[in-house]
Amino acid sequence: MTDPVLGEEEAAARLAAIVDSSDDAIVSKTLEGVITSWNQAAERIFGYTAAEAVGRHISLIIPEERRSEETEVLSRLVRGERINHFETIRRAKDGRPVDISLTVSPVRNSAGRIIGASKVARDISDQRRREEERQSLLEREREARAEAEAEAVNRSKDQFLATLSHELRTPLNAIYGWARMLDTGRLDEPAIRRATEAILRNAAAQVQLIEDLFDVSRVITGNMRLEVRPLNVAAVLEAALDTVRPAATAKGVHLESVLEHGAEAMMGDPARLQQVIWNLLMNAVKFTPRGGRVTAHLRRVDTHIEIVVSDTGEGIAPEHMPRLFQRFGQADSSSTRGHTGLGIGLALVRHLVDLHGGMVNAHSAGQGLGATFTVTLPVSAVPALFPPPPHPASEPASAPGTDQQKPVSLRDLRILVVDDDAEGLELAALILINAGAEVRTSPSAADAIAVLEGWSPDVLVTDLAMPGEDGFSLLRRARRVTTQRGRRLPALALTAYGRSEDRIRVLAAGFSLHLAKPVNPAELVLCVASLGGRTE
Protein backbone atom coordinates (compact mmCIF):
# COMPACT_ATOMS: atom_id res chain seq x y z
CA MET A 1 0.00 0.00 0.00
CA THR A 2 1.37 3.44 -1.05
CA ASP A 3 2.28 5.85 1.72
CA PRO A 4 0.12 9.03 1.17
CA VAL A 5 2.85 11.17 2.67
CA LEU A 6 5.39 9.88 0.16
CA GLY A 7 2.84 10.44 -2.64
CA GLU A 8 2.39 14.06 -1.68
CA GLU A 9 6.13 14.57 -1.43
CA GLU A 10 6.65 13.00 -4.88
CA ALA A 11 3.98 15.23 -6.42
CA ALA A 12 5.51 18.30 -4.81
CA ALA A 13 8.95 17.29 -6.10
CA ARG A 14 7.60 16.84 -9.61
CA LEU A 15 5.87 20.22 -9.46
CA ALA A 16 9.07 21.86 -8.23
CA ALA A 17 11.03 20.24 -11.06
CA ILE A 18 8.51 21.51 -13.62
CA VAL A 19 8.65 25.01 -12.16
CA ASP A 20 12.46 25.04 -12.16
CA SER A 21 12.72 23.70 -15.74
CA SER A 22 10.14 26.09 -17.19
CA ASP A 23 11.26 28.64 -19.76
CA ASP A 24 8.77 31.07 -18.26
CA ALA A 25 9.30 33.01 -15.05
CA ILE A 26 7.03 31.53 -12.36
CA VAL A 27 6.64 33.70 -9.29
CA SER A 28 4.39 33.43 -6.24
CA LYS A 29 3.44 36.30 -3.96
CA THR A 30 1.13 37.15 -1.10
CA LEU A 31 -1.87 39.43 -1.43
CA GLU A 32 0.32 42.16 0.02
CA GLY A 33 2.68 41.71 -2.97
CA VAL A 34 5.53 39.98 -1.11
CA ILE A 35 7.43 37.47 -3.28
CA THR A 36 7.31 33.91 -1.86
CA SER A 37 8.88 31.90 -4.72
CA TRP A 38 11.16 32.63 -7.67
CA ASN A 39 12.19 30.02 -10.23
CA GLN A 40 15.34 29.78 -12.35
CA ALA A 41 13.67 31.32 -15.40
CA ALA A 42 12.78 34.36 -13.27
CA GLU A 43 16.46 34.64 -12.34
CA ARG A 44 17.45 34.44 -16.02
CA ILE A 45 14.80 36.92 -17.26
CA PHE A 46 14.98 39.53 -14.50
CA GLY A 47 18.58 39.06 -13.24
CA TYR A 48 17.71 38.68 -9.53
CA THR A 49 18.55 35.43 -7.74
CA ALA A 50 15.88 33.74 -5.62
CA ALA A 51 17.75 34.85 -2.51
CA GLU A 52 17.62 38.45 -3.69
CA ALA A 53 13.96 38.39 -4.69
CA VAL A 54 12.10 36.19 -2.16
CA GLY A 55 10.78 38.25 0.72
CA ARG A 56 10.86 41.51 -1.19
CA HIS A 57 7.87 43.32 -2.72
CA ILE A 58 6.95 42.55 -6.31
CA SER A 59 7.49 46.22 -7.15
CA LEU A 60 11.15 45.17 -7.31
CA ILE A 61 10.61 44.47 -11.03
CA ILE A 62 7.75 46.90 -11.80
CA PRO A 63 8.68 50.29 -13.35
CA GLU A 64 7.44 53.32 -11.46
CA GLU A 65 5.06 54.36 -14.23
CA ARG A 66 3.38 50.92 -14.19
CA ARG A 67 2.76 50.53 -10.43
CA SER A 68 -0.96 51.12 -10.97
CA GLU A 69 -1.11 47.85 -12.92
CA GLU A 70 -0.22 45.90 -9.78
CA THR A 71 -3.01 47.56 -7.83
CA GLU A 72 -5.49 46.58 -10.55
CA VAL A 73 -4.16 42.99 -10.65
CA LEU A 74 -4.47 42.59 -6.87
CA SER A 75 -8.04 43.93 -6.85
CA ARG A 76 -9.03 41.44 -9.53
CA LEU A 77 -7.30 38.59 -7.69
CA VAL A 78 -9.26 39.34 -4.54
CA ARG A 79 -12.43 38.92 -6.62
CA GLY A 80 -11.16 35.51 -7.71
CA GLU A 81 -10.45 36.55 -11.31
CA ARG A 82 -7.66 35.22 -13.54
CA ILE A 83 -5.62 37.54 -15.77
CA ASN A 84 -4.56 35.92 -19.03
CA HIS A 85 -1.75 37.01 -21.37
CA PHE A 86 -1.58 40.59 -20.21
CA GLU A 87 1.25 42.24 -22.20
CA THR A 88 3.27 44.77 -20.24
CA ILE A 89 6.83 45.84 -19.38
CA ARG A 90 8.93 44.90 -16.33
CA ARG A 91 12.39 46.07 -15.26
CA ALA A 92 15.42 43.76 -14.92
CA LYS A 93 18.12 44.12 -12.28
CA ASP A 94 20.41 45.96 -14.73
CA GLY A 95 17.64 48.49 -15.48
CA ARG A 96 16.73 47.28 -18.97
CA PRO A 97 13.02 46.96 -19.81
CA VAL A 98 11.66 43.48 -20.44
CA ASP A 99 8.56 42.91 -22.59
CA ILE A 100 6.49 40.16 -21.01
CA SER A 101 3.16 38.40 -21.42
CA LEU A 102 1.73 37.93 -17.92
CA THR A 103 -0.77 35.37 -16.64
CA VAL A 104 -1.86 35.69 -12.98
CA SER A 105 -3.93 33.13 -11.06
CA PRO A 106 -5.27 33.31 -7.50
CA VAL A 107 -3.79 30.85 -4.95
CA ARG A 108 -6.25 29.42 -2.37
CA ASN A 109 -5.68 27.61 0.92
CA SER A 110 -7.35 24.35 1.94
CA ALA A 111 -10.43 26.31 3.03
CA GLY A 112 -10.73 27.91 -0.42
CA ARG A 113 -9.72 31.36 0.74
CA ILE A 114 -7.47 33.39 -1.60
CA ILE A 115 -4.11 33.88 0.11
CA GLY A 116 -1.84 34.88 -2.75
CA ALA A 117 -1.11 34.77 -6.45
CA SER A 118 0.92 32.78 -8.93
CA LYS A 119 2.41 34.67 -11.84
CA VAL A 120 3.71 33.21 -15.10
CA ALA A 121 5.71 35.74 -17.12
CA ARG A 122 6.86 34.95 -20.64
CA ASP A 123 9.65 37.04 -22.15
CA ILE A 124 8.32 38.34 -25.46
CA SER A 125 11.15 40.81 -26.15
CA ASP A 126 12.34 38.89 -29.21
CA GLN A 127 8.77 38.62 -30.48
CA ARG A 128 8.23 42.35 -29.98
CA ARG A 129 11.50 43.11 -31.70
CA ARG A 130 10.51 40.97 -34.68
CA GLU A 131 7.11 42.68 -34.79
CA GLU A 132 8.76 46.10 -34.66
CA GLU A 133 11.15 45.10 -37.43
CA ARG A 134 8.22 43.80 -39.46
CA GLN A 135 6.24 46.99 -38.86
CA SER A 136 9.29 49.06 -39.76
CA LEU A 137 9.71 47.05 -42.96
CA LEU A 138 6.02 47.44 -43.81
CA GLU A 139 6.22 51.18 -43.12
CA ARG A 140 9.26 51.51 -45.38
CA GLU A 141 7.44 49.57 -48.07
CA ARG A 142 4.37 51.79 -47.67
CA GLU A 143 6.52 54.90 -47.88
CA ALA A 144 8.30 53.56 -50.96
CA ARG A 145 4.95 52.63 -52.54
CA ALA A 146 3.48 56.05 -51.68
CA GLU A 147 6.55 57.75 -53.14
CA ALA A 148 6.28 55.67 -56.30
CA GLU A 149 2.54 56.42 -56.55
CA ALA A 150 3.20 60.13 -56.01
CA GLU A 151 5.83 60.06 -58.76
CA ALA A 152 3.36 58.22 -61.01
CA VAL A 153 0.66 60.80 -60.23
CA ASN A 154 3.05 63.65 -60.98
CA ARG A 155 4.07 61.99 -64.25
CA SER A 156 0.40 61.48 -65.04
CA LYS A 157 -0.36 65.14 -64.28
CA ASP A 158 2.56 66.34 -66.40
CA GLN A 159 1.50 64.01 -69.20
CA PHE A 160 -2.11 65.17 -68.93
CA LEU A 161 -1.15 68.85 -68.95
CA ALA A 162 1.04 68.28 -72.00
CA THR A 163 -1.82 66.46 -73.75
CA LEU A 164 -4.33 69.12 -72.69
CA SER A 165 -2.06 71.87 -74.01
CA HIS A 166 -1.79 70.01 -77.31
CA GLU A 167 -5.54 69.39 -77.56
CA LEU A 168 -6.35 73.04 -76.80
CA ARG A 169 -3.68 74.53 -79.04
CA THR A 170 -4.53 72.38 -82.07
CA PRO A 171 -8.03 73.85 -82.69
CA LEU A 172 -6.81 77.25 -81.44
CA ASN A 173 -4.15 77.19 -84.14
CA ALA A 174 -6.79 76.75 -86.83
CA ILE A 175 -9.05 79.42 -85.29
CA TYR A 176 -6.21 81.93 -84.92
CA GLY A 177 -4.69 81.20 -88.32
CA TRP A 178 -7.93 81.44 -90.29
CA ALA A 179 -9.01 84.56 -88.35
CA ARG A 180 -5.73 86.27 -89.26
CA MET A 181 -6.23 85.26 -92.90
CA LEU A 182 -9.74 86.72 -92.85
CA ASP A 183 -8.32 89.89 -91.34
CA THR A 184 -6.12 90.42 -94.38
CA GLY A 185 -9.22 90.74 -96.62
CA ARG A 186 -7.44 88.83 -99.39
CA LEU A 187 -9.50 85.62 -99.35
CA ASP A 188 -11.93 84.82 -102.13
CA GLU A 189 -15.45 83.56 -101.42
CA PRO A 190 -14.59 79.81 -101.37
CA ALA A 191 -11.65 80.50 -99.01
CA ILE A 192 -13.86 82.64 -96.76
CA ARG A 193 -16.36 79.75 -96.52
CA ARG A 194 -13.54 77.33 -95.68
CA ALA A 195 -12.21 79.75 -93.06
CA THR A 196 -15.63 80.19 -91.47
CA GLU A 197 -16.28 76.45 -91.41
CA ALA A 198 -12.84 75.75 -89.93
CA ILE A 199 -13.27 78.39 -87.21
CA LEU A 200 -16.72 77.08 -86.28
CA ARG A 201 -15.58 73.45 -86.34
CA ASN A 202 -12.52 74.06 -84.18
CA ALA A 203 -14.37 76.35 -81.76
CA ALA A 204 -16.99 73.62 -81.32
CA ALA A 205 -14.17 71.13 -80.62
CA GLN A 206 -12.81 73.42 -77.91
CA VAL A 207 -16.27 73.84 -76.37
CA GLN A 208 -16.71 70.05 -76.29
CA LEU A 209 -13.28 69.64 -74.70
CA ILE A 210 -14.15 72.15 -71.96
CA GLU A 211 -17.51 70.46 -71.34
CA ASP A 212 -15.76 67.09 -70.99
CA LEU A 213 -13.33 68.59 -68.47
CA PHE A 214 -16.28 70.03 -66.51
CA ASP A 215 -17.90 66.59 -66.50
CA VAL A 216 -14.69 65.01 -65.17
CA SER A 217 -14.63 67.63 -62.42
CA ARG A 218 -18.24 66.81 -61.55
CA VAL A 219 -17.35 63.11 -61.39
CA ILE A 220 -14.34 63.72 -59.13
CA THR A 221 -16.28 66.00 -56.76
CA GLY A 222 -19.41 63.83 -56.76
CA ASN A 223 -21.55 66.60 -58.27
CA MET A 224 -22.67 64.71 -61.36
CA ARG A 225 -26.48 64.52 -61.28
CA LEU A 226 -29.06 62.94 -63.58
CA GLU A 227 -32.36 64.44 -64.73
CA VAL A 228 -34.29 61.17 -64.91
CA ARG A 229 -37.51 60.95 -66.90
CA PRO A 230 -39.23 58.53 -69.32
CA LEU A 231 -37.27 58.34 -72.55
CA ASN A 232 -37.10 56.55 -75.87
CA VAL A 233 -33.69 54.89 -76.09
CA ALA A 234 -34.04 54.38 -79.83
CA ALA A 235 -34.56 58.13 -80.32
CA VAL A 236 -31.54 58.87 -78.12
CA LEU A 237 -29.42 56.43 -80.12
CA GLU A 238 -30.58 57.89 -83.44
CA ALA A 239 -29.74 61.39 -82.21
CA ALA A 240 -26.23 60.25 -81.28
CA LEU A 241 -25.84 58.58 -84.68
CA ASP A 242 -26.89 61.79 -86.44
CA THR A 243 -24.25 63.71 -84.49
CA VAL A 244 -21.49 61.25 -85.33
CA ARG A 245 -22.47 60.58 -88.96
CA PRO A 246 -20.62 63.59 -90.48
CA ALA A 247 -17.34 62.52 -88.86
CA ALA A 248 -17.85 58.93 -90.02
CA THR A 249 -18.68 60.05 -93.57
CA ALA A 250 -15.65 62.34 -93.73
CA LYS A 251 -13.41 59.45 -92.69
CA GLY A 252 -15.07 56.92 -95.01
CA VAL A 253 -16.39 54.73 -92.17
CA HIS A 254 -19.75 53.03 -92.73
CA LEU A 255 -22.14 53.73 -89.82
CA GLU A 256 -25.20 51.56 -89.29
CA SER A 257 -27.74 50.74 -86.57
CA VAL A 258 -29.90 47.76 -85.64
CA LEU A 259 -32.91 48.67 -83.48
CA GLU A 260 -34.91 45.75 -82.10
CA HIS A 261 -38.55 46.33 -81.22
CA GLY A 262 -39.36 46.39 -77.49
CA ALA A 263 -36.12 48.08 -76.46
CA GLU A 264 -37.30 51.67 -76.71
CA ALA A 265 -38.78 52.76 -73.36
CA MET A 266 -36.96 53.22 -70.07
CA MET A 267 -36.26 55.76 -67.33
CA GLY A 268 -33.07 57.78 -67.56
CA ASP A 269 -31.39 61.06 -68.44
CA PRO A 270 -31.65 61.37 -72.24
CA ALA A 271 -28.86 63.96 -72.52
CA ARG A 272 -26.43 61.84 -70.50
CA LEU A 273 -27.35 58.61 -72.30
CA GLN A 274 -26.82 60.36 -75.62
CA GLN A 275 -23.41 61.43 -74.27
CA VAL A 276 -22.64 57.77 -73.47
CA ILE A 277 -23.59 56.57 -76.94
CA TRP A 278 -21.89 59.51 -78.65
CA ASN A 279 -18.61 58.82 -76.84
CA LEU A 280 -18.70 55.13 -77.77
CA LEU A 281 -19.54 55.88 -81.41
CA MET A 282 -16.90 58.62 -81.76
CA ASN A 283 -14.35 56.32 -80.15
CA ALA A 284 -15.24 53.57 -82.61
CA VAL A 285 -15.03 55.94 -85.60
CA LYS A 286 -11.70 57.32 -84.37
CA PHE A 287 -10.08 53.89 -84.20
CA THR A 288 -11.65 52.45 -87.36
CA PRO A 289 -9.74 52.96 -90.63
CA ARG A 290 -11.30 54.14 -93.89
CA GLY A 291 -13.60 51.53 -95.35
CA GLY A 292 -14.35 50.03 -91.93
CA ARG A 293 -17.71 49.59 -90.25
CA VAL A 294 -19.23 50.80 -86.96
CA THR A 295 -22.50 49.25 -85.78
CA ALA A 296 -24.84 50.34 -83.00
CA HIS A 297 -27.19 47.58 -81.84
CA LEU A 298 -30.12 48.24 -79.49
CA ARG A 299 -31.86 45.20 -77.99
CA ARG A 300 -33.93 44.04 -75.04
CA VAL A 301 -32.52 41.20 -72.93
CA ASP A 302 -34.89 40.07 -70.15
CA THR A 303 -35.25 43.05 -67.77
CA HIS A 304 -32.38 45.00 -69.31
CA ILE A 305 -31.67 47.05 -72.40
CA GLU A 306 -28.36 46.52 -74.16
CA ILE A 307 -26.61 49.07 -76.35
CA VAL A 308 -23.78 47.40 -78.25
CA VAL A 309 -21.29 49.47 -80.25
CA SER A 310 -18.89 47.37 -82.32
CA ASP A 311 -16.30 48.26 -84.92
CA THR A 312 -13.85 46.66 -87.33
CA GLY A 313 -11.03 48.93 -86.20
CA GLU A 314 -7.68 48.67 -84.47
CA GLY A 315 -8.87 46.61 -81.51
CA ILE A 316 -7.48 46.72 -77.99
CA ALA A 317 -4.34 44.96 -76.77
CA PRO A 318 -4.91 42.77 -73.66
CA GLU A 319 -2.44 44.79 -71.56
CA HIS A 320 -4.53 47.95 -72.06
CA MET A 321 -7.84 46.40 -71.00
CA PRO A 322 -7.42 46.92 -67.20
CA ARG A 323 -7.10 50.73 -67.50
CA LEU A 324 -9.50 51.21 -70.40
CA PHE A 325 -12.09 53.08 -68.30
CA GLN A 326 -9.62 55.01 -66.14
CA ARG A 327 -9.52 58.81 -66.33
CA PHE A 328 -6.76 60.11 -68.62
CA GLY A 329 -5.77 56.54 -69.47
CA GLN A 330 -4.57 56.17 -73.06
CA ALA A 331 -2.99 53.25 -74.84
CA ASP A 332 -0.55 55.67 -76.49
CA SER A 333 0.22 59.03 -74.92
CA SER A 334 3.50 59.64 -76.74
CA SER A 335 4.18 62.52 -79.10
CA THR A 336 3.96 60.07 -82.01
CA ARG A 337 0.49 58.79 -81.14
CA GLY A 338 -1.89 58.36 -84.03
CA HIS A 339 -5.05 59.67 -82.34
CA THR A 340 -6.05 62.79 -80.47
CA GLY A 341 -8.05 63.10 -77.25
CA LEU A 342 -7.58 63.43 -73.50
CA GLY A 343 -8.52 59.88 -72.56
CA ILE A 344 -11.61 60.89 -70.57
CA GLY A 345 -14.44 59.73 -72.83
CA LEU A 346 -14.61 56.13 -71.66
CA ALA A 347 -14.22 57.17 -68.01
CA LEU A 348 -17.27 59.41 -68.42
CA VAL A 349 -19.14 56.56 -70.13
CA ARG A 350 -18.51 54.25 -67.20
CA HIS A 351 -19.55 56.83 -64.60
CA LEU A 352 -22.74 57.84 -66.42
CA VAL A 353 -23.71 54.21 -66.91
CA ASP A 354 -23.02 53.53 -63.22
CA LEU A 355 -25.32 56.44 -62.28
CA HIS A 356 -28.08 54.76 -64.33
CA GLY A 357 -27.55 51.54 -62.38
CA GLY A 358 -26.03 49.81 -65.38
CA MET A 359 -22.74 48.28 -66.46
CA VAL A 360 -20.36 48.76 -69.36
CA ASN A 361 -17.74 46.31 -70.55
CA ALA A 362 -15.38 46.01 -73.48
CA HIS A 363 -14.20 43.07 -75.54
CA SER A 364 -11.56 42.77 -78.21
CA ALA A 365 -9.92 39.73 -79.72
CA GLY A 366 -6.73 41.76 -79.99
CA GLN A 367 -5.08 44.48 -82.02
CA GLY A 368 -6.39 44.75 -85.54
CA LEU A 369 -9.50 42.71 -84.73
CA GLY A 370 -11.95 45.43 -83.74
CA ALA A 371 -13.65 46.12 -80.42
CA THR A 372 -17.12 45.79 -78.91
CA PHE A 373 -18.53 47.88 -76.05
CA THR A 374 -21.71 46.70 -74.35
CA VAL A 375 -23.82 48.98 -72.13
CA THR A 376 -26.41 47.18 -70.01
CA LEU A 377 -29.16 49.33 -68.48
CA PRO A 378 -32.01 48.24 -66.17
CA VAL A 379 -35.55 48.88 -67.39
CA SER A 380 -37.60 50.69 -64.74
CA ALA A 381 -41.36 51.16 -64.80
CA VAL A 382 -42.20 53.70 -67.51
CA PRO A 383 -45.46 55.71 -67.33
CA ALA A 384 -46.13 55.51 -71.08
CA LEU A 385 -44.54 53.83 -74.08
CA PHE A 386 -43.15 55.94 -76.86
CA PRO A 387 -43.83 55.61 -80.58
CA PRO A 388 -40.83 54.46 -82.62
CA PRO A 389 -38.66 57.35 -83.81
CA PRO A 390 -39.05 58.38 -87.44
CA HIS A 391 -36.04 57.64 -89.61
CA PRO A 392 -34.19 60.85 -90.46
CA ALA A 393 -34.46 60.10 -94.18
CA SER A 394 -38.26 59.81 -93.97
CA GLU A 395 -38.84 63.17 -92.29
CA PRO A 396 -40.53 65.78 -94.50
CA ALA A 397 -38.80 69.04 -95.29
CA SER A 398 -41.06 70.85 -92.83
CA ALA A 399 -40.15 68.56 -89.94
CA PRO A 400 -40.40 69.99 -86.44
CA GLY A 401 -37.37 72.08 -85.58
CA THR A 402 -36.88 73.71 -88.96
CA ASP A 403 -38.88 76.75 -87.81
CA GLN A 404 -36.21 77.34 -85.16
CA GLN A 405 -33.70 77.98 -87.93
CA LYS A 406 -35.78 80.88 -89.32
CA PRO A 407 -34.51 84.33 -88.27
CA VAL A 408 -36.14 85.73 -85.14
CA SER A 409 -36.88 89.46 -85.17
CA LEU A 410 -36.04 91.61 -82.17
CA ARG A 411 -37.38 94.77 -83.82
CA ASP A 412 -38.40 97.48 -81.32
CA LEU A 413 -36.96 95.51 -78.36
CA ARG A 414 -34.65 97.57 -76.16
CA ILE A 415 -31.73 95.55 -74.78
CA LEU A 416 -29.11 96.60 -72.24
CA VAL A 417 -25.94 94.49 -72.57
CA VAL A 418 -23.36 94.62 -69.75
CA ASP A 419 -19.90 93.03 -69.92
CA ASP A 420 -16.45 94.15 -68.79
CA ASP A 421 -14.89 92.27 -71.73
CA ALA A 422 -14.92 94.80 -74.57
CA GLU A 423 -14.83 92.23 -77.37
CA GLY A 424 -17.53 90.08 -75.78
CA LEU A 425 -19.65 93.19 -75.27
CA GLU A 426 -19.24 94.25 -78.90
CA LEU A 427 -20.02 90.77 -80.20
CA ALA A 428 -23.23 90.35 -78.15
CA ALA A 429 -24.40 93.83 -79.14
CA LEU A 430 -23.76 93.20 -82.83
CA ILE A 431 -25.66 89.89 -82.74
CA LEU A 432 -28.69 91.60 -81.17
CA ILE A 433 -28.51 94.68 -83.40
CA ASN A 434 -28.44 92.46 -86.50
CA ALA A 435 -31.62 90.83 -85.21
CA GLY A 436 -33.31 94.25 -85.13
CA ALA A 437 -32.95 95.22 -81.46
CA GLU A 438 -32.18 98.65 -80.04
CA VAL A 439 -29.06 97.99 -77.98
CA ARG A 440 -27.15 99.98 -75.41
CA THR A 441 -23.95 98.69 -73.85
CA SER A 442 -22.21 99.17 -70.52
CA PRO A 443 -18.73 97.99 -69.47
CA SER A 444 -19.59 97.89 -65.76
CA ALA A 445 -22.47 97.57 -63.31
CA ALA A 446 -22.09 101.23 -62.24
CA ASP A 447 -22.33 102.43 -65.84
CA ALA A 448 -25.36 100.17 -66.40
CA ILE A 449 -27.20 101.73 -63.44
CA ALA A 450 -26.45 105.18 -64.88
CA VAL A 451 -27.98 104.08 -68.21
CA LEU A 452 -31.05 102.74 -66.40
CA GLU A 453 -31.64 106.12 -64.75
CA GLY A 454 -32.62 107.61 -68.11
CA TRP A 455 -33.61 104.59 -70.25
CA SER A 456 -35.89 101.57 -69.73
CA PRO A 457 -34.78 98.36 -71.47
CA ASP A 458 -37.09 95.43 -72.15
CA VAL A 459 -34.37 92.86 -71.39
CA LEU A 460 -31.09 92.92 -69.44
CA VAL A 461 -28.21 90.78 -70.72
CA THR A 462 -25.28 90.79 -68.31
CA ASP A 463 -22.03 89.06 -67.54
CA LEU A 464 -21.57 87.83 -63.95
CA ALA A 465 -17.89 88.17 -63.05
CA MET A 466 -17.01 91.86 -63.34
CA PRO A 467 -14.59 94.02 -61.33
CA GLY A 468 -16.08 96.26 -58.65
CA GLU A 469 -19.62 94.89 -58.80
CA ASP A 470 -20.80 91.58 -60.24
CA GLY A 471 -23.88 90.72 -62.26
CA PHE A 472 -25.79 89.43 -59.23
CA SER A 473 -25.55 92.80 -57.49
CA LEU A 474 -26.37 94.59 -60.74
CA LEU A 475 -29.58 92.56 -61.15
CA ARG A 476 -30.76 93.46 -57.65
CA ARG A 477 -30.14 97.18 -58.18
CA ALA A 478 -31.60 97.18 -61.69
CA ARG A 479 -34.75 95.45 -60.49
CA ARG A 480 -35.21 98.09 -57.78
CA VAL A 481 -34.95 100.86 -60.39
CA THR A 482 -37.42 99.27 -62.82
CA THR A 483 -39.85 98.20 -60.08
CA GLN A 484 -40.14 101.84 -58.95
CA ARG A 485 -41.30 102.65 -62.49
CA GLY A 486 -43.84 99.83 -62.41
CA ARG A 487 -41.97 97.81 -65.03
CA ARG A 488 -40.59 94.27 -65.00
CA LEU A 489 -37.07 93.50 -66.17
CA PRO A 490 -36.36 89.96 -67.43
CA ALA A 491 -32.64 89.20 -67.25
CA LEU A 492 -30.32 86.83 -69.07
CA ALA A 493 -26.99 85.81 -67.50
CA LEU A 494 -24.39 85.47 -70.30
CA THR A 495 -21.35 84.06 -68.51
CA ALA A 496 -18.28 81.87 -68.75
CA TYR A 497 -19.52 80.00 -65.67
CA GLY A 498 -21.08 77.01 -67.41
CA ARG A 499 -21.45 74.28 -64.79
CA SER A 500 -24.85 72.93 -63.80
CA GLU A 501 -24.32 74.25 -60.27
CA ASP A 502 -23.59 77.70 -61.77
CA ARG A 503 -26.87 77.56 -63.66
CA ILE A 504 -28.76 76.66 -60.47
CA ARG A 505 -27.11 79.53 -58.60
CA VAL A 506 -27.94 81.97 -61.41
CA LEU A 507 -31.62 81.01 -61.60
CA ALA A 508 -31.92 81.03 -57.81
CA ALA A 509 -30.57 84.59 -57.79
CA GLY A 510 -33.51 85.75 -59.94
CA PHE A 511 -32.15 85.58 -63.48
CA SER A 512 -34.71 84.42 -66.03
CA LEU A 513 -32.26 82.44 -68.17
CA HIS A 514 -28.62 81.30 -68.15
CA LEU A 515 -26.36 80.99 -71.19
CA ALA A 516 -22.76 79.80 -71.05
CA LYS A 517 -20.04 81.33 -73.20
CA PRO A 518 -19.16 80.79 -75.98
CA VAL A 519 -22.73 81.31 -77.11
CA ASN A 520 -24.38 80.41 -80.39
CA PRO A 521 -25.64 83.72 -81.87
CA ALA A 522 -28.97 82.15 -82.87
CA GLU A 523 -29.42 80.83 -79.34
CA LEU A 524 -28.71 84.26 -77.84
CA VAL A 525 -31.27 85.90 -80.14
CA LEU A 526 -33.86 83.21 -79.39
CA CYS A 527 -33.39 83.57 -75.61
CA VAL A 528 -33.69 87.35 -75.74
CA ALA A 529 -36.75 87.03 -77.99
CA SER A 530 -38.31 84.65 -75.47
CA LEU A 531 -37.69 87.07 -72.60
CA GLY A 532 -39.06 89.93 -74.68
CA GLY A 533 -42.19 88.00 -75.65
CA ARG A 534 -41.27 87.64 -79.33
CA THR A 535 -41.43 83.84 -79.76
CA GLU A 536 -45.20 83.30 -79.55
Between the alpha carbon of residue 258 and those of residues 149, 261, 273, 295, 313, the distances in Å are 44, 10, 17, 8, 19
Question: DSSP for 85-146?
Answer: EEEEEEE-TTS-EEEEEEEEEEEE-TTS-EEEEEEEEEE-HHHHHHHHHHHHHHHHHHHHHH
Q: Could you tell me which residues are beta bridge partners of residue 417?
A: 441, 461
- For residue 501, what pLDDT is reported? 77
| Contact residues for 477 (Cβ-Cβ < 8 A; gap 6+) | 445, 449
Region for residue 451 given its phi and psi (left: phi exceeds 0; alpha: psi -120 to 50; beta: otherwise): alpha
pTM here? 0.49
Helix (H) or strand (E) segment spanning residue 295: strand 293-301
Q: What is the pLDDT of residue 300?
A: 87
**pLDDT tens profile 448-485:** 999 999 999 999 999 998 988 999 999 999 999 999 88
Max CA distance (Å), the chain: 134
Please enumerate in sequence order all residues whose Cβ is within 8 A of that of 264, keeping only pairs 6 or more positions apart, or say none.
232, 233, 234, 235, 385, 386, 388
Rounded to an integer, what is the distance from CA 33 to the centroid of its chain?
Answer: 62
Of the candidates 120, 375, 148, the one whose C-alpha atom is nearest the C-alpha of residue 266 is: 375
Please count the residues of the chain: 536
The ranges of the chain with pLDDT < 50 are 1, 6, 330-342, 381-404
In terms of Cα–Cα distance, which of 423, 341, 421, 327 is closest to 168?
A: 341
CA 82, 83, 85, 91 torsion-angle sign: negative
| Partners of residue 88 on adjacent β-strands | 100
pLDDT at position 396: 34
- The phi, psi pair for 397, rounded to 5°, reads -65, -25
pLDDT value for 520: 84
In angstroms and rounded to an integer, the radius of gyration of the C-alpha atoms of the chain is 40
- Span 403-443, pLDDT tens digits: 445 678 899 899 999 999 888 898 889 999 999 999 999 99
| Cα 372 from Cα 295, distance rounded (Å) | 9
Q: Please choose, from the candidates 220, 214, 213, 217, the residue with its C-alpha nearest in 3D space to the C-alpha of residue 165.
A: 213
Question: How does strand 459-462 pair with strand 414-418?
Answer: parallel
The confidence score (pLDDT) of residue 383 equals 47
Quick one: how far is CA 80 from the chain centroid? 57
Cis, peptide link before residue 467, omega less than 30° from 0: no
Q: What is the pLDDT of residue 451?
A: 94
pLDDT at residue number 271? 86
Angle of the 422-434 helix axis to the 521-531 helix axis, nearest 10: 70
- Determine the Cα–Cα distance for residues 320 and 315; give it in Å rounded to an integer: 10
* Three-point CA angle 528, 532, 535, nearest 5°: 80
Estimate to the nearest angstrom the gap between the alpha carbon of 426 and the chain centroid: 39
Helix axes 270-286, 233-251, angle to 10 degrees: 30
pLDDT at residue number 275: 87
Residues near 317 by beta carbon (within 8 Å), at least 6 away in sequence: 331, 366, 367
Measured distance CA(37)–CA(39) in Å, rounded: 7
What φ, ψ does residue 430 adopt, rounded to 5°? Answer: -65, -40
- 3-state DSSP helix/strand/coil % of the chain, to nearest 5: 50, 20, 30
Closest CA to 428 of 385, 450, 460, 457: 460
Contact partners, residue 352, CB within 8 Å, separation at least 6: 224, 272, 273, 275, 276
Residue 337: its pLDDT value, please?
A: 36
